Amino acid sequence: MRARTRTARRRVVVLAAVASLGAGLLAGCADDGNDDNGSESSGGGGKTTITLGLFGTAGFKESGLYKEYEKLHPNIHIEQTVVERNENYYPALINHLTTNSGLQDIQMVEVGNIAEVVQTQSAKLLDLSKYGKKSDYLEWKWQQATTQGGQTVGVGTDVGPMAICYRKDLFQKAGLPTDREEVGKLWAGSWEKFVDVGKQYQKKANGTTFLDSPGGLLQAIVSSEKERFYDASGKVIYKTNPAVKAAFDLTADAAEAGLVGNQTQFQPAWDTTIANSKFAAMSCPPWMLGYIKGKSKDDAKGKWDVAQAPKSGNWGGSFLTVPKSGKNTEEAAKLAAWLTAPEQQAKLFAVQGSFPSTPAAYDSAAVKSAKNDMTGDAPIGTIFAEAAKNIPVQTIGPKDQIIQQGLTDNGVVLVTQGKSPKDAWNNAVKTIDNNLDQ
């Protein structure tokens, strides 16, 4: 599940989202799947109905996993409610966890929100360590949903191991190698080398930029650091962490040198730069390939490739949690564990492109043979699996998204618009601190 969230844009947006969704969590976007699943609805015929509250496109239904589980468990009927964007979903979820009412049997939580849920809502959630196998999951993924007391409140769905997607045709025109192994060697182990390659590219850019956006670069660099916005004790350290300031400064350097577009990711103007081939490379977790495909013209197929990033990082991923207030907590926990087991995650990747958080799935044919229309014969499953294994264990804080967004939208983006790196940093800090104090 990709992390395209704008959760912290303004407090009024959060409050409005909670109010608009009302007492019934996400009810207006319900998709019970009666026609598709072919099961009796709402527990008809003595069946137990398990409900899931999701955001985005989780893919469980589309991949046929619900039907498969219902066939294995004839007494179970599965329904889901879906909201397109997490910024509309998550505020309502927190509201309902706080009031302990209006919850689905299973609730999805995005990785950027899991720390807040672990720290403030764990008493409302079932311990899933008795259902999911810790050894099945990436260690750092399991730890993200585990309290200091050892309660695991969520089982991991997907992860977003970071690579670099690049246009072979544009690299060739700029005199750079196009083979993915050779490309990866250009910047291996160093984001500074990566920016240097961008400066080399920009000499023959022909009206394009090396990278799509400052936000994508900053996200990739920060995500590859062991310590970023919080320390292990839970203290906010983004202002004093030299790794964060170095990431900001390097991104600002790239912006001042004209290596990045002056776009904000996932906005219409940014989509247009994808369609018109206006940049040569971008930070790229697996789910980004689907986004590229959706926004590109047909003539871009096969022109992209994927190389390892200078350092491995994670961008995206979600968890399934089970509220204790549900009527069917035991059956819900079993379903959550089954949906996130290695076999099911491999199937989901084949259909949805959601990269498994379970290393055992990396050896499956579905992952090893995975291909994408945009990247041709690139072994994307193998590339992303290698990145996933090297992602550092990080401390995720409850306000990570506020900080990341502030550094981007109120910081490095401003450098592409003429503001000095120093002024951009100060503006970002002021904005972030104001939001953290609210």
Asked if 301 and 277 count as a contact pair (C-beta separation under 8 A), the reply is no
For the stretch 26-36, pLDDT in tens is: 333 334 443 33
DSSP string, 85-118: -HHHHHHHHHHHHHHT-S--SEEEEEHHHHHHHH
For the stretch 65-119, pLDDT in tens is: 999 999 999 999 999 999 988 989 999 999 999 999 999 999 999 998 999 999 9
CA-to-CA distance for 366 and 346, rounded, in angstroms? 6
For the stretch 112-143, pLDDT in tens is: 899 999 999 999 999 999 999 999 999 989 99
Residue percentage of the chain with pLDDT more than 90: 79
Contacts of residue 431, Cβ cutoff 8 Å, sequence gap at least 6 = 406, 410
Whole-number pLDDT of residue 23:
30
Helix (H) / strand (E) element for 164: namely strand 163-167
CA-to-CA distance for 177 and 173, rounded, in angstroms? 10
Whole-number pLDDT of residue 43:
53
Whole-number pLDDT of residue 387:
94
φ, ψ dihedrals at 347, nearest 5° = -65, -40
For the stretch 206-223, pLDDT in tens is: 999 999 999 999 999 999
Whole-number pLDDT of residue 16:
33
Kindly indicate the confidence band of residue 1, based on its pLDDT and cuts at 50, 70 and 90.
Answer: low
Asked if 174 and 279 count as a contact pair (C-beta separation under 8 A), the reply is no
